Amino acid sequence: MQPTPAPSSPPRDSPPLRQSSPTTAVEDHPLEYPDPPKNNGSAPFHVLAALFDRLQNERKPDKRRKLLASWFNHWRKEIGPDLFPVLRLILPQKDRERAVYGLKEKNLAKAFIKLIPLGRHDPDAVRLLNWKKPTDKYKTSGDFPTVLYEVVNKRSSVVEGSLTIDDVNEYLDQIAQNMGKSDVQSKILQRIYNRSTPEEQRWIVRIILKDMIISVKENTVFGVFHPDAYDLFNTCSDLKKVAWELYDPHRRLNDEDKAVQLFRAFAPMLCKRPTKKIEDSVKEMQGRAFIIEEKLDGERIQLHKRGNEYFYCSRKGKDYTYLYGKHVGTGSLTPYIDTAFDERVDEIILDGEMLVWDPVSERNLPFGTLKTAALDRSKKEYNPRPCFKVFDLLYLNGMSLLHRSTKFRKRNLRSCLTEVPGRIEFVTEYEGKTAKDVRLRMDDIMANRGEGLVLKHPDAEYVLNGRNKDWIKVKPEYMDNMGETVDVLVVAGNYGTGRRSGGVSTLICAVLDDRRAMDDDEDQKYCSFVRIGSGLSYADYIWVRQKHWKPWGANGPEWLQVSRKGHEDKGDVYLEPEDSFIIKIKAAEVVSSDLYSLGFTMRFPRALSIREDLTIADCMTATGVLENIRSEKKRKMEDDDDKPKKKTKKTKKKPVIMAEYQGINLKDTPVVSSLFEGYKFMVSSDPKSRNGAADKNSLMQMIHAHGGKCVQVCRDDPNLLVVYGGQTTPYDIKLIMNKDVCDIIRPQWILDSVAKEELVPLTKKCFFHATTARMASDDYGAEDSDTEDEAPPSPPGSSKTPEPTHREEVESRIDPSMAEWFDVGAKGKPVATQASDSGSETEPEPDEEFDSENEDVKPEPEVEFEEDEDWEQIDKDDNLTSTQSQNVAKKVGLAVVYLCHDQPNAVWREKEDEDVRMGDDEEAMHYDQELIFKHLCFYLDSPSNARELGLPVKAKDETDVEKRFNEIAKLIENNGGRIAGLDEPKLTHVVVDKRDISRRQELIKRTSKPKRRHLVIAEFIEVCIEEGTLLDEDEFMP
């Protein structure tokens, strides 16, 4: 046992500090603030509104940082050092000083209809109330502040607003204090309406809704404000404390200031998802024995304790002490765990997961029942109750343990605490050394209905709000081959026939196309991906059919990209994105298909649920789908069997490139000059261009004719120039950009150089993408570095003048009196404009990445090919047939396909996987809407079948169970399904009777290869038939 620090003495009297209303702290321990720095008045709100406009329309992250830095510097110079009034308006979602306003879009619409005023049937009143609904006259919809601005702009007589930033904060405080009092809130909004312009009202409403859309994340704002701001916010979750403690940019915090404190909410450490395959995650442990913990499906909770005082709060800083108990006499948890702590423990902070334990079934209940269980005051012995699963110790008797190793913290944790079964327990953990250990533990977790695993490095420190490779979470769906699961947007539908007639029956779904650069005023595009007709219940269809469907028309909506072939992705009706919804789909696999715009679709897809908790912003992206395809097979970890491999004689062969990817023969093209002598190019065609291949060949001939050399494969050669001029960013081009080795130039540079008979300078406009080294060159910087990315060069002879961008229009409207606020070149007090300069312990995510605290919605890291993977070796085996020798492994996203590599078993394993593909035939892609079990194969765990397999039978009513399985078998076969044995390769479901689930774990073990099967109770069959569709198996697990 490690020595435990001696209990700290009672807190000494501190110097008098200014106190305010408590935020994310215990009532008896309100946060203490230093005296606020003094400001000299305030600034007009229209100056801040102008900053919001500039940030919203600026595409470059670096320029946004400079705008913020310039604005902050000017505030400090003209107003004073206290930036809290500004920060709480820029980051309203982080301001805990104000309670919720109780005003959503509908209530705001009603309030503005009264104060404008508008008649009940006035078109604009109807438009405000139905702000999501587009009309023929008004195309803007789905964004309430913009709709409100357009309505107010026609009526407001205020030309110049008179509100200051302090005025706005005071009004917002009053609105928050009068939550639920609509009459009082309306009067406050009336004052705002009378004193502000429509543009200013639009931003005030955004602040109330906490939906700023200014393309700036919290870590960027904190990084510009002060180098240590992000770290301090992670320890206290309080914007005011950050603003007042760090008002001086020159003051730096010490390590103690960045440590966790008792009764102060902090941002906990988070997990990363595994990359590519589990072996790579194990490599991140650097050969050390690592900790394997069970991942729990509960609510992340931090517990603070000093003596008889307790404090519970969530990951987001929400105080739950009222639920679990402030002291031993109150709450649903504290009275039962107070004796669990060692008598030497005076002060402690624990990190863990709050679950619901059911003592009757002896299992954890779903997360949604937690609050019900916590509020239960009946204290009955067998009622579900909260159970705190602890996995980390962060603070002990006055000492912060953040910088101690995971192994040290866990060892001391077990010395400080004794488990109270069903109330407070240690998370289940094991020691692992190899990927095989992870697989074995995952099998145990699956058998016990667990959620997944977390791998932890034994030497890892605890990084507040950090997300690094020291903690890696592994869920069954990341490694298992039970199928692909995605969240996609419903974009269109087809009418049904027969029993599904009378409305939309089949749904067409799409993913967000993020593979191309998009202008600010350009609508987002979606790619058709999959269609589904199974999985939704009768009640779901009633809800779906009530949506605002529109006729498809001749070509469908402009924002939806569909295939040029077939009718699979064309609907009878469609939904606008703002009227649509996200649906969770599960399928057997993702396969290539030219019947959908993405080029891929899902085989045997079905709906799992309608995700009402998600918005259209949570839709799966095109690159996300391609990433999953690119990384071997999602949800499957490679077999690590120890079977001896048959040795075969290996002979190197020259790699073979398929004919359609070979370059043209340039031997017959005469060389007329040495213009490009010494230059090496790889020309990539535009996949969106009909003449892409012809343009590529012409360009290659031109390069060769002027002394250049052309290659077909882009290696990591900094002297290689990639030539690409498309509007989108294909996956192979994106991989090259991520490596940052080769420059990507536009074809216009080739044309201009040939036309002028000399190499023109490689300035910024010549590049589709420039490497970091190139951007430092003199030629690259010859043009104004602040100009927006150039559009592709116009063809020779074109003299069209580009229209001014929306950003330029915004800049042109800036009042000259505000020019100093946006002088990005002004010298002021130094601020940290980038996280890398801040010395921050918590590395903020870049602006280009998702600003989400949930790692599951973040994209996978870019997967790069190793250099030695560019060419694969081919076995020489005289016994292979010609068909087998044609087995190829395609590298997704690259324009080259290579033959299978030198492991002889690789061909046979792939063939084996093909043999057990789901479905009655290889061509089948969808479930049958009438015969719902067609393409599915079932094993029935009847007593007679169990005995044939040598398994024990414990059912009391064996005859009744056998009779019931005979009825289930008939139902399956009458609805297109097939009954098979347990060793059937195409087996998809194992059906058990809930009266005898004693063979459950053995069945899971026997059916986990080559991919896991669904284990369900017999009621699954009956309910599916009753609903007329396949339902989610997870709801029917034994």
Name the more confident of 793 and 944: 944
In this prediction, residue 478 carries a pLDDT of 55
**How does pLDDT run across 174-193, given as a tens digit for each residue?**
999 999 899 999 999 999 99
In this prediction, residue 140 carries a pLDDT of 66
Distances (CA, A) of 887 to 209, 899, 978: 56, 7, 31
Q: Which H helix or E strand runs over 913? A: helix 904-915
Report the range of poorest mean pLDDT among 227-236, 249-258, 793-802.
793-802
Longest Cα–Cα distance of the chain, Å, equals 94
- Residues 504-528, mean pLDDT to the nearest whole number: 83
Whether residue 165 contacts residue 45, with contact meaning beta carbons closer than 8 Å, is answered with yes
Euclidean distance between CA atoms 495 and 572, whole angstroms: 7
Given a cut of 70, is residue 844 above it in pLDDT?
Answer: no
Euclidean distance between CA atoms 605 and 626, whole angstroms: 17
**How does pLDDT run across 76-105, given as a tens digit for each residue?**
999 999 999 999 999 998 888 886 898 999
* Domain ranges, residue 735: 646-797+856-897
Domain match, 617 and 746 both: no
Domain match, 331 and 368 both: yes
285 Cβ contact list (under 8 Å, min separation 6): 455, 457
Range among 126-135, 188-197, 747-756, 941-950 rated most confident = 188-197
Q: Is residue 809 part of a domain?
A: no
Name the more confident of 623 and 796: 623
Report the range of poorest mean pLDDT among 436-445, 812-821, 976-985, 1011-1020.
812-821
In this prediction, residue 884 carries a pLDDT of 37
For residue 1005 the two structure tokens come to: 């073990």
In this prediction, residue 519 carries a pLDDT of 62
Whether residue 548 contacts residue 576, with contact meaning beta carbons closer than 8 Å, is answered with yes
The last residue of a domain, from among 479, 495, 511: 479
Given a cut of 50, is residue 832 above it in pLDDT?
Answer: no
- Residues 663-668, mean pLDDT to the nearest whole number: 76
pTM of the model: 0.53
726 Cβ contact list (under 8 Å, min separation 6): 685, 686, 687, 688, 689, 692, 733
Given a cut of 60, is residue 897 above it in pLDDT?
Answer: no
For residue 793 the two structure tokens come to: 């060069």
Euclidean distance between CA atoms 867 and 716, whole angstroms: 8
Given a cut of 60, is residue 804 above it in pLDDT?
Answer: no
In this prediction, residue 856 carries a pLDDT of 37
Torsion sign (Cα): 199, 204, 205, 209: positive
254 CB neighbour count, 10 Å cutoff: 8
Given a cut of 50, is residue 787 above it in pLDDT?
Answer: no
In this prediction, residue 39 carries a pLDDT of 94
Q: Is residue 37 part of a domain?
A: no
In this prediction, residue 143 carries a pLDDT of 83
Given a cut of 80, is residue 589 above it in pLDDT?
Answer: no
Q: Is residue 762 part of a domain?
A: yes
Name the more confident of 861 and 459: 459
In this prediction, residue 920 carries a pLDDT of 63
Q: Of 1020, 984, 107, 1010, nearest to 480 (Cα)? A: 1010
14 φ/ψ angles, rounded to the nearest 5 degrees: -100, 160
Domain match, 547 and 458 both: no
In this prediction, residue 375 carries a pLDDT of 80
Euclidean distance between CA atoms 424 and 445, whole angstroms: 20
Calculate what percentage of the chain has a pLDDT beyond 70. 77
Domain match, 148 and 186 both: yes
Pairing of the two strands 1014-1017 and 989-992: parallel
Domain match, 324 and 460 both: yes
Domain match, 681 and 593 both: no
In this prediction, residue 698 carries a pLDDT of 87
Which amino acid would we find at residue 731? Y
388 CB neighbour count, 10 Å cutoff: 23
CA-angle at 467, arms to 465 and 473, nearest 5°: 120
Q: Of 416, 395, 481, 396, nearest to 446 (Cα)? A: 481
For residue 434 the two structure tokens come to: 């190899």
754 φ/ψ angles, rounded to the nearest 5 degrees: -65, -40
Range among 344-353, 374-383, 814-823 rated most confident = 344-353
The phi-psi region of residue 885 (left if phi > 0; otherwise alpha if psi is between -120 and 50; otherwise beta) is alpha
Classify residue 192 as exposed, middle or buried by CB count within 10 Å of its CB (0-12, 13-18, 19+). Answer: buried
Euclidean distance between CA atoms 495 and 497, whole angstroms: 7
In this prediction, residue 845 carries a pLDDT of 41
Q: Of 607, 598, 605, nearest to 529 (Cα)? A: 598
Given a cut of 90, is residue 29 above it in pLDDT?
Answer: no
In this prediction, residue 636 carries a pLDDT of 44
Given a cut of 80, is residue 691 above it in pLDDT?
Answer: no
Given a cut of 80, is residue 13 above it in pLDDT?
Answer: no
Q: Of 60, 271, 13, 189, nearest to 805 (Cα)? A: 60
Whether residue 856 contacts residue 273, with contact meaning beta carbons closer than 8 Å, is answered with yes
**How does pLDDT run across 486-513, given as a tens digit for each residue?**
889 999 998 876 667 678 889 999 999 9
Cis (ω within 30 of 0) for the bond into 117? Answer: yes
Which amino acid would we find at residue 773? A
**How does pLDDT run across 393-402, given as a tens digit for each residue?**
999 999 999 9
For residue 147 the two structure tokens come to: 């709709």
Domain match, 672 and 777 both: yes
In this structure, what CATH number is given to the domain that contains residue 985?
3.40.50.10190
373 φ/ψ angles, rounded to the nearest 5 degrees: -65, -40
Whether residue 475 contacts residue 310, with contact meaning beta carbons closer than 8 Å, is answered with no
**How does pLDDT run across 456-475, given as a tens digit for each residue?**
999 999 999 888 889 998 87
The model's confidence at residue 661, banded by pLDDT at 50, 70 and 90, is: low
Report the range of poorest mean pLDDT among 434-443, 532-541, 560-569, 647-656.
647-656
Domain count, the chain: 5
Whether residue 142 contacts residue 132, with contact meaning beta carbons closer than 8 Å, is answered with yes
The radius of gyration of the chain from alpha carbons, rounded to an integer in Å, stands at 32
DSSP states of 926-959 as a string? S--SSSTTTT-EEEE--HHHHHHTT-----SSHH
Given a cut of 90, is residue 575 above it in pLDDT?
Answer: yes
**How does pLDDT run across 203-233, given as a tens digit for each residue?**
999 999 998 888 888 889 999 999 999 989 9
The phi-psi region of residue 185 (left if phi > 0; otherwise alpha if psi is between -120 and 50; otherwise beta) is alpha
758 CB neighbour count, 10 Å cutoff: 9
Domain match, 723 and 790 both: yes
Q: Is residue 906 part of a domain?
A: no
Residue 732 DSSP label: H
Calculate what percentage of the chain has a pLDDT beyond 90. 38
Euclidean distance between CA atoms 973 and 75, whole angstroms: 75
In this prediction, residue 916 carries a pLDDT of 59
Distances (CA, A) of 47 to 75, 145, 458: 10, 19, 51
The last residue of a domain, from among 444, 479, 514: 479
Pairing of the two strands 767-769 and 888-890: unpaired
In this prediction, residue 347 carries a pLDDT of 95
The model's confidence at residue 921, banded by pLDDT at 50, 70 and 90, is: low
Domain match, 218 and 277 both: no
In this prediction, residue 361 carries a pLDDT of 83
446 φ/ψ angles, rounded to the nearest 5 degrees: -65, -40
In this prediction, residue 888 carries a pLDDT of 31
Domain match, 696 and 745 both: yes
Domain match, 773 and 874 both: yes
**How does pLDDT run across 717-743, given as a tens digit for each residue?**
888 999 998 878 887 888 888 888 999
Given a cut of 50, is residue 641 above it in pLDDT?
Answer: no
**How does pLDDT run across 811-829, given as a tens digit for each residue?**
545 566 677 787 766 555 5
Given a cut of 80, is residue 939 above it in pLDDT?
Answer: yes
- Residues annotated as catalytic are 295
Q: Is residue 601 part of a domain?
A: yes
677 φ/ψ angles, rounded to the nearest 5 degrees: -60, 135
Whether residue 257 contacts residue 229, with contact meaning beta carbons closer than 8 Å, is answered with no
**How does pLDDT run across 410-449, given as a tens digit for each residue?**
999 999 999 999 999 999 999 999 988 988 888 888 777 7
Q: Is residue 311 part of a domain?
A: yes
Domain match, 438 and 508 both: no
Whether residue 857 contacts residue 622, with contact meaning beta carbons closer than 8 Å, is answered with no
Whether residue 814 contacts residue 61, with contact meaning beta carbons closer than 8 Å, is answered with no
The phi-psi region of residue 678 (left if phi > 0; otherwise alpha if psi is between -120 and 50; otherwise beta) is left
Given a cut of 90, is residue 10 above it in pLDDT?
Answer: no
In this prediction, residue 631 carries a pLDDT of 60
Classify 242 as helix, strand or coil: helix
For residue 876 the two structure tokens come to: 């020489």
Q: Of 738, 716, 760, 1003, nearest to 863 (Cα)? A: 738
In this structure, what CATH number is given to the domain that contains residue 141?
1.10.3260.10
Q: Helix and strand tally (H, E) in the chain?
A: 32, 35
Q: Is residue 611 part of a domain?
A: yes
* Mean model confidence pLDDT for the chain: 79
The last residue of a domain, from among 229, 260, 288: 229
Report the range of poorest mean pLDDT among 296-300, 326-330, 913-917.
913-917
In this prediction, residue 341 carries a pLDDT of 96
Q: Is residue 835 part of a domain?
A: no
Given a cut of 50, is residue 887 above it in pLDDT?
Answer: no
Report the range of poorest mean pLDDT among 263-267, 669-673, 862-866.
862-866
In this prediction, residue 445 carries a pLDDT of 80
